[in-house]
Amino acid sequence: MSRTTVKIDFGKSLTIEPLLDDESNWTTFEEDFKTACDARETSKYLTGSYVEPTRFSYNSTLRKYFKLDEDGDVTTEELTRAEALACEPAIAIFDREQAQLREMLRQSIPTSLWMQVKESGLFDDIWNELDRLCSDKQVGTVDAIDRQMLAVRCPDDEDPGATITLLLRLRDQLASMGKQLTDAEMVQRYRGAFQEYRLELQAHENVFRGMRMKETDEAKRALIIMTAKDAIGVIRKSWGP
């Protein structure tokens, strides 16, 4: 799905990156969509923190206006003509903004996903259902990608470049889904992937361990670690020029 621009209010346009078919960018899409709603002062429709306008029905036989309940059914509570007319501007604004957000979302997510959520109710109901579907799927996807990283192995005597690139791509994929791997976690994955260089990596870590033992300042000692960048350097150097 390509980049999407949708007119949502008084001719103003906003541009957001759409949700991918595999929903892998849900975290960033969710943030972008919320930011777009904040900019248009429509975020209340995401959270449900709005007051739905009073709606009414006109009975032409009785020539009277009757209030509708939350389900849209006619009640016995009457409204004067002036009261009914006073409700119309709020109804128009509410319905227009709901329709604009629905259209923005429809154009920004895969059609199959839109078909699953579009009948959920008002926009906050639609958004909550979308959040549930994507969040549930993403938890499984994040775990699967992390397991894939832990299972990566570079064959002995093979240029480590391709494996490093793969691990970095998977790291960035996890980051786009809201999981940031620490330096220690990345070093762990490099150790697993490049077992041919485990002795070189361990020797480099021993240097840092010795430096930590000599440092008396606890705050400074915590900064003396082998970073993921250090690990890549050791691997590339061990492979050769």
Is residue 228 within 8 Å of 194, Cβ to Cβ?
no
pLDDT surpasses 90 at 241:
no
- Using the structure block, give the residue that is written with the tokens 């009640």: 75
Is residue 226 within 8 Å of 233, Cβ to Cβ?
no
Give the per-residue pLDDT at 240: 67
Of residues 107 and 230, which shows the higher confidence score?
Answer: 107
How many Cβ atoms are within 10 Å of 84's Cβ, its own excluded? 19
Q: In the chain, where are the structural domains located?
A: 4-134, 154-239
Give the per-residue pLDDT at 13: 65
Q: What is the pLDDT of residues 86-143, one digit of tens each?
A: 999 999 999 999 998 999 999 899 999 999 999 999 999 999 999 999 887 777 788 8
pLDDT surpasses 50 at 10:
no
Q: How confident is the model at residue 56 (pLDDT cuts 50, 70, 90)?
A: very high
Give the per-residue pLDDT at 126: 95
Comparing CA positions, the residue from 170, 169, 240, 159 lying closest to residue 194 is 159
What is the model's pTM?
Answer: 0.60
Give the per-residue pLDDT at 12: 57
Give the per-residue pLDDT at 156: 80
pLDDT surpasses 70 at 204:
yes
